[in-house]
Amino acid sequence: MTSYALFLGCTIPARQPHYEISARKSLTKLGIELVDLENMTCCAPPPLQSVDLETSLSIAAYNICLAEEADLNIITLCTGCFESLSIANALLKEKKELRKRVNETLSVVGKEFRGSKEVKHYLQVLRDDLGLGRLKDSITKDLSDLKAATFYGCHSLRPSSLLRFDDPEAPRIFDDLVETIGAKSIAYRHKLRCCGGLLRGYADDVALAIARDKIVNTTKAGADCIVTLCPFCFLTLDLGQVLMKSTFHEEYKMPVLHYSELLSLGLGIDPKELALEFHKISLEKVLTKIK
């Protein structure tokens, strides 16, 4: 069994228990042990990097130090956490001067970034630790009727030089993982374009206009659902459709679900155990296609 320090972040435990429960159930069932460490904090994502980049890197480094002390690599669910922690990990391993300054800051809490651990996205863990073959063998349900529009979001892929997740212009990992569990990954226009989520709270109208493009394009392509990796993308696209109705007077009913939820369903976990009531757009259309 592979063990990882689970980095939950802020949004998932506070807003999206359906993401957390599906990730815990599916990953554990596949033999990946998730260790909850005390004293982890926010990862210091773009909104905090906007306030002060070096402080944000220090906060991310503090969290990596906790995993280093526990002698565990980190697994992330939220793409924002993956980005913040990966950037800090890569930059501080690479840039000696920056690392010195950050370690001076961390000395006030008795920590030192050593650069001894890795930060992994759970898709990388599924592909590299478990392997596509074993993943396929674990699936007990038939998902072959399901046309899924994978949405990578931005911060799994970019900045690619620091994240090293996949080719930023032609990624495969997510599509491969969707097809391994039996669903069909479909092509759609502007697949790799942002959801606009980070503009929520500053320019809601702009954010919603960008999200609308995603819903329109996946609908036109005949998708049964959008599959997401990031709680912010999920919120922007799921709750976003409710806002599109009141703002643009356009009604969409595109189900949005996290990959861990689709995986849980494929593993035969009872939908009643997955807190699906937290979705704004009903998953009925998806559930009826899974046999």
Positions touching another protein (CB under 8 A) are 8, 10-11, 13-15, 17, 20-21, 24, 36-42, 44-55, 58-59, 62, 66, 98, 105-106, 108-109, 111, 154-155, 158-160, 168-169, 193-194, 196-199, 201-203, 206-207, 209-210, 213, 273, 275
Asked if 19 and 234 touch (Cβ cutoff 8 Å), the reply is yes
List Cβ neighbours of 62 (8 Å cut-off, separation of 6 or more).
Answer: 41, 106, 109, 111
| Smaller CB separation from another protein, 109 or 187 | 109
- What does the alpha-carbon distance between residue 276 and residue 258 come to, in Å, rounded to a whole number? 11
Provide, rounded to whole angstroms, the least separation between the CB of residue 286 and another protein: 19
Pick between residue 133 and residue 169 the one whose CB is nearest to another protein: 169
User: Least distance in Å: CB of 61 to another protein?
Assistant: 9
Which CB sits closer to another protein, 133 or 201? 201
Cα–Cα distance, 30 to 22 (Å, whole number): 12
The closest of 264, 271, 284, 280 to 22, measured between CA atoms, is 264
Cβ-based neighbour number of residue 72 at 10 Å = 19
User: Is 109 or 287 the residue whose CB approaches another protein more closely?
Assistant: 109
* Least Cβ distance, residue 11 to another protein (angstroms): 5
d(CA 136, CA 51): 44
Which is nearer to another protein, 95 or 220 (by Cβ)?
95
Q: Rounded distance, CA 60 to CA 81, Å?
A: 9
The minimum distance between CB 79 and another protein, in angstroms, equals 12
Peptide bond into 159 cis (omega under 30): yes
Nearer CB in complex with another protein: 46/115: 46
Closest contact distance (angstroms) between CB of 98 and another protein is 8
Taking the complex as a whole, the smallest distance from the CB of residue 264 to another protein amounts, in Å, to 13
* Pairing of β 256-258 and β 32-35: unpaired
Residues whose CB falls within 8 Å of the CB of residue 280, separated by 6 or more in sequence, listed in order: 238, 239, 241, 242
Q: What angle do CA 31, 34, 37 make, to 5 degrees?
A: 165
Going across the sheet that includes 119-121, the strands are 32-35, 2-7, 74-76, 119-121
Q: In the complex with another protein, which residue's Cβ is closer, 52 or 284?
A: 52
- For the bound state, the minimum distance from the C-beta of residue 241 to another protein, rounded and expressed in Å, comes to 17
